[in-house]
């Protein structure tokens, strides 16, 4: 009887230890709640309003927007849900003799 009780106790302890030692591996990082990262969520029209650069963590960021020509500050980029983009030279045109438009495709790369 004593041997049966010891075996049952060992089986219960082993089962409990296996249950608590296993956990689901989740290798995929999850985006913050309410933030979906896909083409539909970033589709839209964008205009450059800030351009900063930080050389290292110790230094203050440098604002590069004042160094751009005025004709570059009013341009827009349109990102489509289908992975296409269009860059348009609006307002002050940099080169009136050329059509300042660019077309292409983009994709979202998950790290």
Pairing of strands 84-88, 101-105: antiparallel
pLDDT digits (tens, 9 = 90+) for 28-76: 666 667 777 888 888 999 998 988 888 877 678 888 888 888 888 888 9
pLDDT higher than threshold 60 for residue 3: no
Residue 11's pLDDT band, with cuts at 50, 70 and 90, is very low
Check whether 110 has a pLDDT greater than 80.
Answer: no
Q: Token digits for 46?
A: 């964008």
Banded pLDDT at 89 (limits 50, 70, 90)? confident
Do 62 and 54 form a contact (C-beta atoms < 8 A)? yes
Residue 34, by phi and psi: left (phi above 0), alpha (psi -120 to 50) or beta?
A: left
């Amino acid at each position: 009887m004593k041997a049966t009780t010891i075996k049952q106790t060992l089986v219960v302890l082993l089962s409990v230890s296996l249950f608590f030692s296993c956990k689901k591996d989740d290798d995929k990082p999850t985006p913050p709640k309410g933030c979906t990262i896909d083409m539909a969520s970033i589709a839209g029209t964008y205009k450059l309003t800030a351009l900063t650069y930080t050389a290292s963590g110790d230094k203050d960021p440098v604002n590069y927007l004042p160094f751009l020509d005025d004709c570059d500050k009013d341009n827009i980029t349109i990102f489509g849900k289908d992975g296409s983009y269009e860059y348009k030279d609006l307002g002050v045109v940099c080169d009136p003799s050329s059509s300042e438009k660019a077309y292409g495709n983009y994709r979202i790369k998950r790290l």
